[in-house]
Structure 1
Amino acid sequence: MPAPAAPKRFLLVTGMSGAGKSTTLNTLEDLGWEVVDNLPLSLLDPLLATPLAAGAERGRSLAIGLDSRTRGFNAERVVRQVKKLAREHDQPVETLFLECQAAELLRRFSETRRRHPLAPDRPTNDGISEEREMIAPLKRWADHVIDTTDSDTNALRQQIRNHFGGEEGAPILTVQSFGFARGLPRNADLVFDMRFLQNPHWVPALRPLTGLEREVADHIAADPAYEDAVTRIEELLLALLPRYEAEGKSYVSIAFGCTGGRHRSVHVAERVAARLREAGFSPSLDHRDLATPPRDGSERS
């Protein structure tokens, strides 16, 4: 009897209750993954050893949802068991951990009127604190950590598609613009600060425009520091990305920031994404704060 085939990718999905595990698993299923949620730990081994259950006969990847509600859950035990399975089946295992700040989790549980699974008869905050301590080993071990504090359902779906919807091999790239006035992107791997460039905010005719428009682009490109600095950034990225690929990193997020996220960062993100495409990469492009109305008091530098 031939040995069972292995899934293309084997992903454990875990994290804080309320951080988006169901949305993540549903999105992976839409992407063609075989998905199993809250599987008892005792069934991990037979599942991985069964090609049909793992979806391997159909060439599918496998995602398993585990959290504090899983029967027999113990984070240290999960880590030991999965490492053992990976060795025995010669199957690389990835872990995705969904993080979220306590205040946002409290808001989500309040809005949905759900009780926290670890505190059905106690304050929700008690369950959040207990769970965070319980699953800390999984976060330390995780290959991918996505913080959903500032993400709605649609944004999380897009992040999952970016991380896990591409072809295997080269890392999946996201190039993002943002405004420092509204905070750093939580999931950025590389952040470049564009606030050293001359600011179109100070030109009344350019202030209502964005970095997508030619007049703004020309103004930014006229800065004496612009061409050398952006070219060096492009060269750095073209040197780093093959190294990330060689190390097996599956997702890279590159973020460009300016004060408001509407002018300099947008233009540079557009240029760098175009340069990466010319070099054979396929980055997705996201302008996080482009549609946010400007706030003059915080966008003057």
Structure 2
Amino acid sequence: MSGAGKSTVLDALEDMGWDCVDNLPTALLDQFVHGEREARQPLPVAVGMDVRSRGFDPFDLPALLRSIKDVKPEILYLDCAGAELVRRYDETRRRHPLAPDRPPEDGIARERDLTAPLRQMADAVIDTTDLSPAELREELLRRYGGDVDQPVLTVASFGFARGISRSADLVFDMRFVANPHWIDELRPLTGKDQAVRDYVAEDPAWPETIDRIEALLIGLIPRYWAAGKSYLTVAFGCTGGRHRSVAAAVEMAERLRGAGFSPNVRHRDLLSQPSDTIEGSPASSGARESAEAGE
């Protein structure tokens, strides 16, 4: 999708040593790739394309890539929510390539329909809606900075109040656990702090829940790898994304490392400000101090 971060991706890959080119006409693709393969020190190649690229056809592109001999192509599709794309176009004051004289929403809708077949055939999809340029670079470094054949496992946290994680394959809702936000001394802390981790661990439901999720993931992750999935994101959500989900993601990452996996950890909403409005009421959040006061 135009505006989803193609330039950022190409810049990041170039910094990793890739040979990158943007908006290459499709008629020159085979010549460009083979020219690089004949170089003294062949480099991995990244070609950026969107609806502005000459000859771009989302139906024909996969077949064109497969026709290039002696290479292993991968299609990475960059997606982004429409509202965020509108915000980016408004911020940069650029016009959408498919709607030069109309609102950007029209061009975004048209482009989403046009590129839908390519998204379905893509080997990997990155949704950049909630990613800053720095976070997008980190994601690319994890995927392409080393051995690209090694499956990538990410354990993430997020807050439902700020939108569900768009990149998650598996989501676990931790909002049933007592909320540290309503404890004055814990509110400014996060789930990475030991005091918060100790607090949520005292919830009667926490130990059994974490044990069951661990057992489930240890059994499922190898099955995803065996099915050919190269990227798997396991996300934990709570209301604000600062306490319970973070604590769960940190603990699960530790347990998975102990089981022989090498997960990355990403906390989407960790740096957001505490908010009583977002967290709701202590009664609805299941805070233990409310129950204890009732006793």
* Shorter-normalised TM range: 0.7 to 0.9
1:76 and 2:56 matched: no
Aligned-pair Cα RMSD in Å: 2.3
- Unaligned 5+ residue runs, structure 2? 286-295
- Give, in angstroms, the shift of residue 237 of structure 1: 1.7
- Give, in angstroms, the shift of residue 199 of structure 1: 2.2
Check whether the contact 2:187–2:274 (CA below 8 A) recurs between aligned residues: no
Judged with a 3 Å threshold, the aligned counterparts in structure 2 of structure 1 residues 155 and 239 are, in CA distance, closer, same or farther, namely same
- Please show how residues 76-225 of structure 1 align to structure 2 within 5 Å: 76-85=59-68, 89=69, 91-225=71-205
- Give, in angstroms, the shift of residue 71 of structure 1: 1.0
Between 1:191-200 and 1:111-120, the stretch displaced more is 111-120
In the other structure, the counterpart of 1:277 is: 257
Q: Deviations over 1:181-203 (max 9, x none)?
A: 11111111211111222222343
Structure 2 residue matching 1:94: 3-state secondary structure: coil
How many residue pairs end up in the alignment?
281
CA distance in 2, matches of 1:240, 1:25: 33
Judged with a 3 Å threshold, the aligned counterparts in structure 2 of structure 1 residues 56 and 232 are, in CA distance, closer, same or farther, namely farther
Q: Percent identity?
A: 55
Give TM-score, length-normalised by structure 2. Answer: 0.85
- Give, in angstroms, the shift of residue 54 of structure 1: 4.1
1:43 and 2:34 matched: no
Judged with a 3 Å threshold, the aligned counterparts in structure 2 of structure 1 residues 17 and 58 are, in CA distance, closer, same or farther, namely same
Give TM-score, length-normalised by structure 1. Answer: 0.84
Check whether the contact 2:36–2:43 (CA below 8 A) recurs between aligned residues: no
- Unaligned 5+ residue runs, structure 1? 1-15
Q: Deviations over 1:12-55 (max 9, x none)?
A: xxxx111110101111111222222222212223334x2x5148
CA distance in 2, matches of 1:33, 1:24: 11
In the other structure, the counterpart of 1:58 is: 41
Check whether the contact 1:180–1:258 (CA below 8 A) recurs between aligned residues: yes
CA distance in 2, matches of 1:119, 1:289: 33
- Give, in angstroms, the shift of residue 280 of structure 1: 3.0
Judged with a 3 Å threshold, the aligned counterparts in structure 2 of structure 1 residues 66 and 197 are, in CA distance, closer, same or farther, namely same
CA distance in 2, matches of 1:233, 1:283: 15
In the other structure, the counterpart of 2:288 is: none
Judged with a 3 Å threshold, the aligned counterparts in structure 2 of structure 1 residues 219 and 121 are, in CA distance, closer, same or farther, namely closer
